[in-house]
Amino acid sequence: MDGMLVVIWAVRLLFLALLYIFLARVVRSLLRDLRAAAREPGATLGRLLVIESPGGDPEQGRSFDLDAITTLGRDVNNAIVVEDPFASAEHAVLTYRGRSWYVEDLGSTNGTYVNGRVVATVSPLGFGDEVSIGQVRLRLERARLT
Residues in touch with other proteins (CB under 8 A): 1-2, 4-5, 7-9, 11-16, 18-23, 25-26, 29-30, 32-33, 36-37, 42-45, 65, 67-69, 75, 77, 79, 89-90, 93, 95-100, 102, 104, 106, 122
Element housing 11 (H / E): helix 3-39
Phi, psi of 32 (to 5 degrees): -60, -45
| 19 vs 120 by CB, closer to other proteins | 19
Q: What residue type is 125 in one-letter code? A: L
Q: How far is the CB of 134 from other proteins (least distance, A)?
A: 19
DSSP string, 111-130: -EEETTEE--S-EEE-TT-E
Q: What is d(CA 1, CA 113) in angstroms, rounded to the nearest whole number? A: 84
| 13 vs 118 by CB, closer to other proteins | 13
Q: How far is the CB of 109 from other proteins (least distance, A)?
A: 14
| 37 vs 118 by CB, closer to other proteins | 37
| 49 vs 106 by CB, closer to other proteins | 106
- Judge whether 38 and 30 are in contact, CB under 8 Å: no
In this structure, the chain runs to a length of 146
- Cβ count within 10 A of residue 91: 27
